[in-house]
Chain A
């Protein structure tokens, strides 16, 4: 008796790997968005702060 259908496992492996790859990208994107938000916020603080310190309101 075969407990594991080897052919089926091999057949599904490709799609499972693709799903894993896609979600890895998605989770990485979520982290990047959070970091990007922080970067934009810090950039705005620094550039606006620099302008105000030069007297350009």
Chain B
């Protein structure tokens, strides 16, 4: 005769080894989970400590309001971060203007117009763009996009903000397209069918029904893509140049926060110098930017979330 469930539980309770495993496994899993949290805390602490060292040598006010970034100057080094922020924003602005219309347009097409077969083929193909290494994108910007742009507009210099901006935009298209398409596809079929049954065209359904319903997912995807564009390093390091400028010119060489960090990390400054510590201050500023964008993405995602 087979033992009852209660008898089996009673038997298993009696086994000491099982009891120990039951206690160890949650602790082990907790330790594994805390590795990522501790790593993040370690990174942030390092950033904060080294940034404080930088601000013990350079005025915080000059850092956040200064319009000249000249750390390698022979006379007097200047650490005004605004030119690096402007450079980063130039790249981000161009990238967003390329990626948002194309990404959301592709998402609407795949979600509302394309057949199941087309969607099944095109979506993974588009996602290949996200898997291309950024160094390849950097060379693509420098050796293909820049010469094409120079052919169209001769005033554009070899290092400029437009070419890397466009390529960063291409890089973040799959992020916007794929996440937005997921958000649109998750809108219940009944809502879509209801609108179509009322005589709406597919375009009206997409704009007046699906987009508002999937707004939280779409905005979150855009904010995450912007966050990625702000933090992009290799493309701008290769194709944007290294001239920190506080102006509105997009045709000449610029420098972003990330490309400055790369420049110094490659060995342009010795350990313990002010220039060395400046990369932590710039990194901390970058961290604040991306953290704010991620907080915004979480807020928007919760604020506009539709429950069905």
Give A26's nearest chain B residue, CB to CB.
B105
Contacts A20-B204, A34-B126, A37-B129; is A44 near B140 (CB within 8 Å)?
Answer: yes
State A35–B121 Cα separation when bound (angstroms). 11
Instruction: Give Cα distance in the complex from A45 to B135, angstroms.
Output: 12
Q: A35-B125, A37-B173, A38-B126 are in contact. Are A17 and B201 (CB under 8 A)?
A: yes
B109 at the interface (CB under 8 A from A): yes
A30 in contact with B102 (CB, 8 Å)? yes
Is B225 interfacial (CB-CB < 8 Å)?
no
From residue 187 to 218 of chain B, which have CB atoms closer than 8 A to chain A?
199, 201-204, 206
B126: chain A residues at CB < 8 Å are 31, 34-35, 38
Interface readout for B148-192 with A: 1 if CB under 8 Å, 0 if not?
000000000000000000000010011001000000000000000
Q: Check A35/B122 contact, CB under 8 A, given A30-B109, A40-B144.
A: yes
Complex Cα–Cα for A8 and B201 (A): 16
Partner of B106, one of A9, A17, A20, A34: A34
Q: Which residue of B lies closest to A39 (CB)?
A: B125
User: In this assembly, does A50 line the interface, its C-beta being within 8 Å of a C-beta of chain B?
Assistant: no
For A, the interface residue count at a CB cutoff of 8 angstroms equals 23
Given A19-B203, A27-B113, A38 and B105 contact (CB-CB distance below 8 Å): no
> Contacts of B202 on A, CB cut-off 8 Å?
20, 24
Q: How many residues of B contact A (CB 8 A)?
A: 33
Cα separation A31 to B113 with both chains bound (whole Å): 11
Q: Which B residue sits closest to A29, measured CB to CB? A: B105
Other-chain contact of B170, A23, A37, A48 (Cβ < 8 Å): A37
Docked-complex contact B201 and A34, CB < 8 angstroms? no
B105 contacts A30, CB within 8 Å? yes
Q: Could you tell me the distance between the alpha carbons of A48 and B104 in the complex, rounded to whole angstroms?
A: 32
How far, in angstroms, from A20 to B112 measured CA to CA in the complex?
12
Interface of A, helix, strand, loop or mixed by DSSP: helix
Residues of B close to A40: CB separation below 8 A = 144
Judging by beta carbons under 8 Å apart, are B203 and A28 in contact?
no
Q: Which residue of A lies closest to B118 (CB)?
A: A31
Chain B residues lying within 8 Å of A27, measured Cβ to Cβ, are 105-106, 108-109, 112-113
Q: A31-B109, A34-B173, A41-B136 are in contact. List 20 more A-B contacts (CB 8 A).
A: A9-B199, A16-B201, A17-B201, A20-B201, A26-B105, A27-B105, A28-B109, A30-B101, A30-B102, A31-B105, A31-B114, A31-B126, A34-B103, A34-B126, A34-B174, A35-B125, A38-B126, A41-B132, A41-B140, A44-B140
Between-chain CB contacts (< 8 Å), 10 pairs: A16-B204, A30-B106, A31-B106, A34-B170, A34-B174, A37-B129, A38-B129, A41-B136, A41-B140, A41-B170
Report which A residues bind B (CB closer than 8 A).
9, 16-17, 19-20, 23-24, 26-31, 33-35, 37-38, 40-41, 44-45, 48
Chain B residues in contact with chain A, CB under 8 A? 101-106, 108-110, 112-114, 122, 125-126, 128-129, 132, 136-137, 140, 143-144, 170, 173-174, 177, 199, 201-204, 206
